[in-house]
Structure 1
Amino acid sequence: MKPRKDEVLEKAKKNAALEAVKHVKDGYVVGLGSGSTAAYAIMEIGKRIKHEGLRVLGVPTSHQAFLLAVKNGIPVTT
């Protein structure tokens, strides 16, 4: 069965976010944007903080990004 276009698009967005987060290093101040691709990135940064001890600060661009960052254990600043 051929995957639907929306499934392919979501997988591409997630893969893009995961690739971007690979470049985040200790001590970075990271802009946390809005939208589904940014949400995937925020969740992945949270996983890296939990599992790798990554130390970063996030700067959320929206209230939604702020809430997701806090939920995923990302310290935030302005």
Structure 2
Amino acid sequence: MGHEEKRLPGLEQYTNDQIFFLSYAQTWCGISKPEATIRQVLTDPHAPVQFRVDGVVVNQPEFAEAFHCKLGSPMNPVKKCVVW
């Protein structure tokens, strides 16, 4: 049985894969003052939020495919970090 897939209001232009990555990025969304970022880097073992997003998705072929990032572009480098 076929059914029409419902789209999220205001996000109709995005695919389901793109919405997945947007949701992931949104969980880390925030604004930090430069002083707070410096303090975090010096005292917190976790990476600053912008690296928790970009540093992860830049290494995922699925992200590049979802957003049509050209190979060799900043968000789809030729060399990627592969953990497993």
Q: Normalised by the size of structure 1, how large is the TM-score?
A: 0.30
Greater helix proportion: 1
Q: Normalised by the size of structure 2, how large is the TM-score?
A: 0.29
Task: State the structure with bigger RCO (CA 8 A, min sep 6), 1 or 2.
Answer: 1
Larger radius of gyration: 2
